[in-house]
Chains A and B, each alone.
Chain A
Amino acid sequence: MSTEESAGAGLDPSEQLRLFEAEAGGVADREAWEALRLRWIGRKQGVVRSLLGRLRELPPEERRDFGQGVNRLKEKVEARLVELDEELEAAERRRDRAEARVDVTLPGRRPHLGGIHPVNLVNRRIVEIFTGLGYSVAEGPEAEDDFHNFEALNFPPDHPARDTQDTFFLEDGRLLRTHTSPVQIRTMLARKPPIRVICPGRVYRHDNDLRHSPMFHQVEGLAVGEGITFGHLKGTLEAFIHELFTEDTGVRLRPSYFPFTEPSAEVDITCPFCGGDGCRVCSKTGWMEILGAGMVDPRVLRMCGIDPAVYSGFAFGLGIDRVAMIRYGIPNIRMLFENDERLLSQVRG
């Protein structure tokens, strides 16, 4: 509709209103609404504005009625525009909701999380358990000397017990620690009892086959004080194993031999795969060896300047890698160090 046509409707406000109503009936979107608004109540060119501009052209006695008529027109236009606006918004909402329909079974977009290595997840759990029991963490170097790795642990020079340790030697005469026990020695040399520490870390053995990795991880624990008993060792290990595995895991200690403990024990747990009934993993025995432990050998205490007549202590050590393999069902220790993201990304908890 052109300006000429509306102008043709003359100055009669009711005529104009009819015209407006007709135009308003055709508004279907925002653009048309805005055009309608500008055409009728726009500040510069709007119909209402130009009608008011014509007021002076009328004889004075008609001006009042005309003015009132234009005002009514303006009010009606404005009211209708608001109405139209609401209708448009409602229509938009309807359209938006109609378009919001999706296939809710499509996959969600995952945040790209990384992960912590299974060995270190287990390590963290073990440290948590022992810090809860009042232990703190002690650490030391991986390149060690003979004294801390062997001699102070009651491995005399050239003793056959050293054969079991499959040591990597460095050309400078040192070696790669074969266990984290040197950290126990460093702790005992540096501090007076009472002592309670756990020593997690990487260790090395000259061994590389399907079941062995030349590098693996251990956590060892040490408690030294007055009146520490073998029963305390049992109680501590049971509490630990029940936390790490399950409350109903059976724990068995068998006498064994390590140079640094006296008496020494191998610690078995009921096989986590069969619950002790016997399966392929535990070679039908129902038990799985996971820990070595014992009362700290008096020679070791003596070597560290602690009087074995006054103090006693216990120590234990376990391979973290094995626990990680059991916990996450990883069949081969070497898979732990291939760093295959397809495997690592499945590990959690």
Chain B
Amino acid sequence: MIFSLEWLRRYVPVEASVEELAARLTAAGLAVEGLQSRGEDTLLDVDVTTNRPDCMNHHGLARELSVLFDLPLASLDVSLEETGERAADLAEVEVEDPVDCPRYVARIVRGVKVGPSPEWLVERLESVGLRSINNVVDASNFVLWEMGQPTHAFDLERLAGAKVVVRRARPGERLVTLDGEARVLDPEALVIGDGEGVVGLAGVMGGLETEVTSATSDILIESAHFDPRVVRETANRLGMHTDASHRFERGADPGAAGTGADRVAKLIVELAGGSVLAGAIDVVNEKLDWGLAGRLDLARLDRFAGARYSDVAVERWLTGLGFGLEAAGPGVWTATVPTWRHYDFLPDPARPLESSQGPVFEADLFEEAMRIRGFDDIAADLPAISGPEAGSSAGHLRREEIRRHLAACGYMEAVSFAFHDRESEARRPALARVGDPLTLANPLSELYTVMRRSLLPGLESAVSFNQRRGAVAIRLFEIGHVFPGGDHPEVEAVAIVGGGSRGMPWDRRTPYDLFDLKGVVESLAEHFGAPFEVRPADLPGLVPGTGSELFTTGGRKLGHLGRLASDESPVPLFAAELSAELLTGTGVASVRVPSRHPGVEADLTLTHSNDVHWSEIERAVEERRSEYLVSFGLKDRYRGEGVPAGAVNTTVFFRYNAADRSLTQEEVNERHQALTRQLEGRFGWSEN
């Protein structure tokens, strides 16, 4: 928001350099983000936070400067000369909704001569980016930028029945606003009506029909207070944003409607002549109390801030900011909140007014003292918080372990967006799908409409991104939430994708297939002590005959793996997706102490039908496992010359060892041959 330094100086005689001024404002929470010369003047670009509508005008910001530099603040002249004619005899104001419009003040000025504004006013308005329109409208805009109260001038003759009614819009009502747009009004919208129709949107913009023109002679000045929510709803629904709505939405000063009307009337008479009628038409909701107060205890402030504050300084600061301070003991005051800070001090609903604390949160009062003094000289300290930690880091630690493991396995971690298009969503298997996917009501584009239920489509985008840039080998993984749909809780998933040979011939190029990927999954599961069972399964999006589902020993679905059916990738891609939460098992395992005696190794090559699964052979060995067999596994598979069609040679290695002595070759032979006979008999190939 732009402020003119010259304009500010009309209210506070600040002489400090513009740099110091900027630094002090910034240190008090009004960040000066830019400085710019404009003739003799300097413009300040101040980031006024949404809780400080009172500083969205020059007088308000000057108040801050007066406290920061300990200077007097000039008050605004609202003295009026009124004629004998009574405003209330000429016009009428009716408020149908006294909650959303707690106060409506109307002033009438008769006999104005609408024309161009004087140079100084045009200059002022232009300095903050406004265009001069005419002396009456400019007076209203000037007051908004001077003291923050939005006002509006109606051409009184055009107000049907010389009447103003604050009410809800009626079904089908329309209004052409000042910007020339025809708007259809919602019955929720709070409007300003006259004896016939709608003449303005409350707190947002007036209507074109009743605007002040060069033909206007008598005007009705509106200076009201509207509820922030109702203005925001109206403005949002119509897609409008005005200087007035900006302030009302954030909470204008509920105490300023009267002075605002007077200030505008005074200026209009100065600029456009005419005379102010006696009295303001003032419709107030007396039931609403804008007075807020709270207890400010210096000792508690010191304890909250971790610094010592002087009672003299605190009193000066808060009084300067407009708080009423009434001593209630040594270093204790009852502080009354100025109306222009009302919405920043919303009271503590849990404490009644009668309570010694008052209804205002003390932290809100502490903040005023802390920000005026600045945070720089509060000493840094570390808290000593006793008691147990408040949570468990288990999920984080597991995730870090997964990352470390997969990175060590040669995979690079990707991070993808959690939303994609519907087609991608359905393309691959998912850990869980419950009904429709979660759908965004306001997606960025058609590419990002639903929440992912699988990490695979996102990883595939990363794959094709890299392949388009020449990547030959793909080794990627991702960890992230997937969204099964409905109320089903989010699931943390791990996905891995790999494909393509890696390395140059010098690096001893290694080929890649499904079992490279599966080995990574196995090692990851083993790392967590979470063995799984593989069940062949035809899954959507996977090449038939390559897919499988993985189950924990407890029978829960851990995930799936297989070769991706992809027309895009130049190399076969293999992928797995697992539920990270199910990667929990025995955790830390005790070691088996290796035998100190030499072991004996033996191989067995079994020619068997292609239809016999390795898992069957494995199970058969397990069933017949002899005492001294410490490990066994697949040594090699061979198909080709010397192996009958439809069969395959499987070579299994066995390691025998005893904990307490050296085994003799004879002992091993006996056991190994018995096992061999068993396996040959059960699986061995026969031509018929």
Contacts and interface: CB of A to CB of B under 8 A. Distances in A.
B413 A137 contact: no
- Bin chain A's interface residue count: 35 or more
B410 A344 contact: no
Interface string B463-488: 00110010100011100110100100
B656 interface: no
Interface stretch (A69-77, A83-91, A333-341): A333-341
Contact of A191 (B390, B396, B442): B390
B381 A215 contact: no
Nearest to B473: A112
Contacts of A345: 412
B411 A138 contact: no
Contact of B480 (A202, A230, A231, A309): A202
Interface string B281-322: 000000000000000000000011111000000000000000
Contacts of A176: 418, 440
A230 B233 contact: no
A235 B503 CA distance: 50
Interface residues of B, number: 98
Interface in B610-669: none
A111 B507 CA distance: 9
| Chain A residues touching B, majority SS | mixed
Interface stretch (B146-154, B168-176, B358-366, B560-568): B358-366
A234 interface: yes
A143 B233 contact: no
B330 interface: no
B306 A262 contact: no
A245 B436 CA distance: 45
**Residue among B367, B370, B386, B439 having the largest count of chain A Cβ atoms under 10 Å:** B367
A136 B391 contact: yes
Interface stretch (B2-10, B94-102, B399-407): B399-407
Contact of A114 (B304, B379, B392, B411): B411
A196 B395 CA distance: 17
Interface in B431-470: 438-444, 448, 451, 461-462, 465-466, 469
B500 to A, nearest CB: 12
B417 A168 contact: no
B490 interface: yes
Contact of A158 (B229, B381, B389): B229
B385 A196 contact: yes
A214 interface: yes
B593 interface: no
Contacts of A109: 506-508
B382 A235 contact: yes
Contacts of A80: none
B327 interface: no
B393 A194 contact: no
Contacts of B375: 230, 234, 253-255, 265
Contacts of A124: 400
A308 B361 contact: yes
Given A112-B503, A238-B380, A255-B375, A194 B390 contact: yes
B87 interface: no
A295 B363 contact: yes
B489 A234 contact: no
A49 interface: no
B395 to A, nearest CB: 5
Contact of B250 (A143, A160, A193): A160
Interface stretch (B46-54, B131-139, B264-272): B46-54
Interface in A216-275: 223, 225, 227-232, 234-236, 238-239, 252-257, 259, 262-263, 265-266
Given A197-B390, A231-B378, A312 B304 contact: yes
Nearest to A168: B440
A116 B381 contact: no
Contacts of A66: none
B199 to A, nearest CB: 25
B383 interface: yes
Contact of A187 (B228, B250, B390, B465): B390
B380 A138 contact: no
B393 A136 contact: yes
A136 B502 CA distance: 40
Nearest to B475: A114
Interface in A119-148: 119-120, 124, 127, 131, 133-139, 141-143
B413 A229 contact: no
| Chain B residues touching A, majority SS | loop
Contacts of B490: 141-143
Given A257-B51, A339-B416, A341-B412, A158 B451 contact: no
Contact of B410 (A113, A134, A195): A113
Interface stretch (B22-30, B332-340, B675-683): B22-30
Contacts of B381: 229, 231-232, 234-235
Interface in B215-256: 228-229, 232-233, 236, 249-250
A208 interface: yes
A172 B438 contact: yes
A48 B122 CA distance: 130
A55 B419 CA distance: 98
**Residue among A120, A254, A265 having the largest count of chain B Cβ atoms under 10 Å:** A254
Contact of B413 (A139, A223, A227, A344): A344
B350 interface: yes
A239 B305 CA distance: 18
Given A339-B476, A342-B469, A143 B306 contact: no
A119 B31 CA distance: 30
B357 interface: yes
Given A143-B438, A232-B381, A208 B28 contact: no
A143 B31 contact: no
Nearest to A107: B506
A112 B475 CA distance: 10
Contacts of A238: 380
B454 to A, nearest CB: 15
B305 A142 contact: no
A340 B469 contact: yes
Interface stretch (A16-24, A30-38, A56-64, A297-305): A297-305
Nearest to A119: B415
B414 interface: yes
Contacts of B371: 255, 263
Contacts of A197: 389-391
Contact of A297 (B363, B376, B414, B502): B363
- Which 9 pairs show the lowest CB-CB distances between chains A and B? A231-B306, A229-B306, A255-B29, A257-B49, A339-B462, A235-B380, A339-B414, A263-B367, A255-B371
21 contacts: A107-B506, A114-B407, A115-B413, A117-B413, A137-B391, A141-B481, A191-B390, A194-B390, A197-B390, A223-B383, A229-B306, A230-B304, A230-B306, A232-B381, A235-B380, A255-B367, A259-B51, A309-B362, A338-B462, A339-B414, A340-B465
Interface of B: 26-29, 31, 49-52, 228-229, 232-233, 236, 249-250, 303-307, 346, 348-350, 357, 361-364, 366-367, 370-371, 374-376, 378-383, 385-387, 389-393, 395-396, 400, 403-404, 406-418, 438-444, 448, 451, 461-462, 465-466, 469, 471, 475-477, 480-481, 483, 486, 489-490, 502-503, 506-508
Given A107-B506, A124-B400, A137-B396, 13 more contacts: A114-B477, A127-B396, A131-B393, A158-B229, A160-B232, A163-B50, A194-B390, A200-B396, A229-B304, A252-B376, A254-B29, A298-B362, A344-B413
